[in-house]
Amino acid sequence: MYMRIRRGEFERIRSVVSEADPDQPMTASELLALLDEHGEEFDSAHQIATVLGRRAEHGDVEIIREQPYRYRIDGS
């Protein structure tokens, strides 16, 4: 299944995470809940993981490959 990444999704995620300033990297599920609390709608934790995984290729996101994966967003 191909999931189209809409423009601005990463920026929306980064903005909320930056504002919340978590002290630890977060899972996609934790990020989904945080985004929901801030009025940002995403379909699923999988969608968030896809967006962050693609941005990790550019160095904007650090993926901590534990179970479950955790994400640290550059600038947050």
> Residue 50: enclosing H or E segment and its boundaries?
helix 45-56
Would the CA dihedral through 29, 33, 36, 40 be positive or negative?
Answer: negative
Per-residue model confidence (pLDDT) at position 74: 80
Question: pLDDT (tens digit, 9 = 90+) per residue, 36-48?
Answer: 999 999 999 999 9
Position 5 pLDDT exceeds 80: no
Tell me the two tokens of residue 14.
């980064």
